[in-house]
A and B are shown apart, each in its own frame.
Chain A
Amino acid sequence: MTISSEPRHLDARYDVLVVGAGPAGMAAAIGAREMGASSVLLVDREPDPGGILLQCIHSGFGLHAFREEITGPEYAERFFEQVLDHEVDVLTDAFVMDVTTDRRVKLMSPSVGVTTVDAGAVVLAMGARERTRGAIHIPGDRPSGVMTAGLAQKMVNLEGYLPGRRAVILGSGDIGLIMARRLTLEGVEVVGVFELLAHPSGLGRNIVQCLEDFDIPLHLSTTVVGIHGRDRLERLTVAPVDDERQPLMDRAWDVDCDTLLLSIGLIPDAELARDLGMRMDPLTGGPMVSSTMETSLPGVFAAGNVVHVNDLADWVSQEARVAGEAAGALSTGRMRPLEDIRLLPGDNVGYVVPHTISSDHNQTVSFRVREPIYGDTQLRLGQVHRRKLKAAVPAEMITLKVGPHLLEGFTGDALRVDAVPFDADRDAKGGER
């Protein structure tokens, strides 16, 4: 392990300081510079920029950002080249300990020690963390061999070790599916993927390319109900669940394995935001944001998985660019757009980001459905906009472009976003209120 403890110089003040150099942070830093910020500091806690992209050595990145399919590290590298081209100051191996409401940032790093920096604007881009065993509390022993899929991904892809020899994956999130394939390729026996819900949590393409192509069984409506093994994991008890997601113990069975990977969802890693006392969205676990990704604290922006968990790094970068551009614009004294319309999750919508929109400019609205609709789906944005989709599943985030033309005649203060089966839509009344 290398520690860059070479002392280095930091300015006392930056126009924009970006926390996290993953797909969100790098895009935000670029956006900030392009909109005129004269000094931008990009801080990351790892030795190298790129965030989780570095361990995502599979392809599937860049289809939107670069119009070609590349791997995570390649995606990170391309963005980082742009970061350097844009003369962004980059500080790695550095951890942001605290941000105050007047944007004084306390950070630590072997190269600068413990110090504070003032920022004209701050962009929070810390990403997400994986839910752990504690979050779903599985009873039983606490042996080694139970870990999040992301940790296993790091062990295998970055460090060249295997997490075990015979693995079970709990949860059909994308990381778990990708790890099922990865482990199989590395010679680890993947016994199966178990998913509590009746539908997969990951993208359809990953179900096909990571499980079906490798004959890895996917057990829907089934979960792990017991962990056995004093020292190392030896065995799991799994059971189907009923409609209330309660395990049917009389139909439980045992699976021998030495490894259990948890792919049971991501949560915004938003502690800094919480500590700052900004308004949080209980539905996403991240901060509430405006159409320019500004939080409830003026001058503090947030973007990417720290706001809501995206399915593609490309979406993260797009969203973060908006945040970075707005932070850059703000730092040069340009005014904010007028944010006067709240967005509310309506029928069958789990959450909506951003939380407010403006009729001043074009913006992207992202949301997820709560229950899957396998057929024609009507999307409604209040009564100002309707769109038909072929299907809508929770695993795939839906985006809507909302511009001034749609909002021209709108005089209310809130719009509801609904996503319902097309037939039901005919009988339902409009969602405006």
Chain B
Amino acid sequence: MLDPEPAAVEGLITMSVPVVHDVIIIGGGVVGVTLARALSRFDLDVVLLERDAEVGFGVSKANSGIIHSGIHADPATVKGRLEWPGNVGWLRLRDDLGFGLAQVGELLVALAEGELATVEALHAQGRRKGVPGLEPYRQDQVRRAQPNLSREVIAGLWAPTAGVVNPYEAVLLIADNAARNGVQVVTSEPVVGIDPPVVDEPDAPIGVRTPTRSWHGRYVVNAAGLYADEVAAMAGVPTFTIHPRKGEEYLLDKRLSGLVTSIIFPCPTETSKGTLVTPTYDGTIMVGPTAEATDDKDDTTTTPEGAAQVFAAARRLVPGISPRDVIAEFAGVRAVAHTEDFIIGPTDRPGFVNAAGIQSPGLTAAPAIAELLLDVLSDEGLALHDKDDWQPRAEHPVRFAQLSTEEQAELARREPRYAQLVCRCELVTEAEILDAIDRGARTLDGLKFRTRIGMGRCQGGFCTWHCMQLLAERQRVDLPAVTKRGGGSWLICERDDADARPSVELGG
């Protein structure tokens, strides 16, 4: 399991004769990797191009991590149609791949008489969509179920099908499994251009350019998230625009674990499902998100206004929540299309297919989006022949902290590095870190999202250096080459020639 050689970075150096791939997926977010895995069932040559240093570094890692119950989105919309089948699809993915997903259920609550109609409407909508197990709760039932909720709550709707997932862990395992089944996953490979159609040759492959080379695909799926409108424009089909909408999230100290045991929803507003109180898969409480339109697709700043808004709203639901308990905060940007719906389907450019505008409930819908895209690609002429040797199951990374003492002792006997602690807050061992690097972690954030190092109370204060050393050693690079999340996110510089270190404007 612990290969002393650095993991082979497949594809990065595959040059020579232009290869025509069956499908090029642009974007390694949850939509891209879920599609990649779906396509890996078939006898196809698939490549996935991701601009960031690792997959899942965009919207997919910065969201609420909720698999929605299925009641929320209007079934007249595409997102509404895909929400419930997506929920079901996640359970299958979990059973195959073993990432963390717990069906904790959701409790939608009404704080005023005026909201009872909304609760009833969502109940009716959920029933229409076939979501099982829905149950209206009276005030006393709400209190029994969640005693820490506000006394102002007058009624609720219980939806047991909602779940929480580690979105980054899921994306990584899905991508791993796709790669194991032959999909070429290429990171740090931003798409900078798409060649215009060849005149009189509508079936010619589509040329996709990155800074260093060109890729050719018979079909190209645009799963570029926030940048999907720009990619569509590159392909000559600028039919939609993406309007980023930021959401801030705040994680609370583990001390509050158990404050709520299901996802608590307020009644929704026009633009958002509101501020939720979520027991994350890892046992922390998360509050958020906000919903702010922003001009900037990379705007992942948290703001004092956002924090004030989140905590005001969260405390209406759960009064015991306080900003004092924040241990970490982040923001993600929803890729909202001008239509406010998913844009999934073929375009006027033959072979170019969109999977765009994937806003909430996009994470939930992802498995259903992948299935829909298979239909779209098939309709467009892609032949889907089952592969005999498809391996749906993944070898799941060891989570030492979650094993019994006997299992831990047995692992440590086999491999002493399982007894070498790296992260004391989340109990992550050196063997787990090395395995994550072998599975493709290239950056500190990549290690963090795969293994939870640095996510605990010390926020990496104690283990950062050890992790940097392991990243450098395993990849055979110099320590200063290790970054937080790729690009210009350098961590340290040399004493002597530190002036040579690029990318930061110093002055003033």
Residues of chain A touching chain B, judged by Cβ–Cβ distance below 8 Å, are 1, 3, 5, 45, 93, 95, 97, 106, 108-116, 129-130, 132-135, 137, 139-145, 147-148, 150-151, 154-155, 159-166, 186-187, 225, 230-232, 234, 254-256, 258, 271
Chain B nearest CB: distance from A282 CB in Å? 12
Please judge, given known A-B contacts A109-B419, A134-B328, A231-B487, whether A142 and B300 are in contact too, CB under 8 Å: yes
Q: What size tier do the contact residues of chain B reach? A: 35 or more
Over the window 354-373 of chain B, the binary record of Cβ atoms lying under 8 Å from chain A Cβ atoms (1 yes, 0 no) is 00000000000000000000
Q: A159 CA to B480 CA in the complex, in Å? A: 12
Chain A nearest CB: distance from B267 CB in Å? 28
Chain A nearest CB: distance from B455 CB in Å? 10
CB–CB B480/A144 < 8 A: no
CB nearest neighbor in B for A137: B326
Which of B180-188, B374-382, B405-413 binds A?
Answer: B405-413
Q: Which residues of chain A come closer than 8 Å to B469, judged between CB atoms?
A: 1
Q: A104 CA to B328 CA in the complex, in Å? A: 34
CB-defined A-B contacts under 8 Å, sample of 14 = A113-B413, A114-B411, A114-B419, A116-B405, A134-B326, A144-B484, A148-B461, A159-B479, A161-B495, A165-B493, A165-B501, A231-B485, A231-B490, A231-B503
Please judge, given known A-B contacts A162-B492, A162-B498, whether A150 and B413 are in contact too, CB under 8 Å: no
Q: A93 CA to B416 CA in the complex, in Å? A: 11
Q: Report which of B419, B427, B430, B492 forms a contact with A161, defined as CB distance below 8 A.
A: B492
Q: Which residues of chain B come closer than 8 Å to A143, judged between CB atoms?
A: 484, 489
Asked if B459 lies at the interface with its beta carbon under 8 angstroms from chain A, I say: yes
Over the window 87-99 of chain B, the binary record of Cβ atoms lying under 8 Å from chain A Cβ atoms (1 yes, 0 no) is 0000000000000
Q: Which residues of chain A come closer than 8 Å to B408, judged between CB atoms?
A: 108, 114
Q: Which residues of chain A come closer than 8 Å to B328, judged between CB atoms?
A: 134
Question: Could you tell me the dominant secondary structure of chain B's interface residues?
Answer: mixed
CB–CB B506/A258 < 8 A: yes
Please judge, given known A-B contacts A108-B421, A114-B408, A130-B458, whether A137 and B329 are in contact too, CB under 8 Å: yes
Please judge, given known A-B contacts A3-B416, A97-B427, A258-B504, whether A164 and B493 are in contact too, CB under 8 Å: yes
CB nearest neighbor in B for A166: B506
Q: A129 CA to B454 CA in the complex, in Å? A: 13
Q: A97 CA to B483 CA in the complex, in Å? A: 30
CB–CB A140/B301 < 8 A: yes
Please judge, given known A-B contacts A139-B301, A140-B301, whether A165 and B498 are in contact too, CB under 8 Å: yes
For chain B residues 93-133, which have a beta carbon within 8 Å of chain A? none
Most buried by A among B300, B420, B489: B420
Residues of chain B touching chain A, judged by Cβ–Cβ distance below 8 Å, are 250-251, 298, 300-304, 306-307, 323, 326-330, 405, 408-409, 411-413, 416-417, 419-421, 424-425, 427, 429-430, 457-462, 464-466, 469, 473, 479-480, 483-485, 487-495, 498-499, 501, 503-508
CB–CB A139/B480 < 8 A: no
CB–CB A232/B419 < 8 A: no
CB–CB B421/A140 < 8 A: no
CB–CB A144/B495 < 8 A: no
Cβ-closest 7 pairs across A and B: A231-B488, A144-B484, A110-B416, A113-B412, A95-B421, A132-B459, A231-B489
CB–CB B461/A150 < 8 A: yes
CB–CB B503/A232 < 8 A: yes
Q: A116 CA to B408 CA in the complex, in Å? A: 12
Q: A151 CA to B307 CA in the complex, in Å? A: 27
Q: A16 CA to B405 CA in the complex, in Å? A: 23
CB nearest neighbor in B for A228: B301
CB–CB B506/A162 < 8 A: no
Q: A160 CA to B495 CA in the complex, in Å? A: 7
CB–CB A256/B421 < 8 A: no
Q: Which residues of chain A come closer than 8 Å to B460, judged between CB atoms?
A: 151
Chain B nearest CB: distance from A67 CB in Å? 33
Chain A nearest CB: distance from B403 CB in Å? 9
CB–CB A137/B493 < 8 A: no
Q: A134 CA to B465 CA in the complex, in Å? A: 19
CB nearest neighbor in A for B484: A144
Chain A nearest CB: distance from B293 CB in Å? 18
CB–CB B457/A129 < 8 A: yes
CB–CB A108/B412 < 8 A: yes
Chain B nearest CB: distance from A358 CB in Å? 32
Q: Which residues of chain A come closer than 8 Å to B251, judged between CB atoms?
A: 134
Q: A185 CA to B408 CA in the complex, in Å? A: 46
Q: A144 CA to B53 CA in the complex, in Å? A: 15
Please judge, given known A-B contacts A114-B405, A139-B301, whether A45 and B508 are in contact too, CB under 8 Å: no
Q: Which residues of chain A come closer than 8 Å to B411, judged between CB atoms?
A: 114
CB–CB B461/A151 < 8 A: yes
Q: Which residues of chain A come closer than 8 Å to B504, judged between CB atoms?
A: 165, 232, 234, 258
Known: A108-B408, A231-B488. 4 other contacts (CB 8 A): A3-B417, A109-B419, A132-B461, A234-B504
CB–CB A114/B457 < 8 A: no
Q: A95 CA to B427 CA in the complex, in Å? A: 10
CB–CB B492/A155 < 8 A: yes
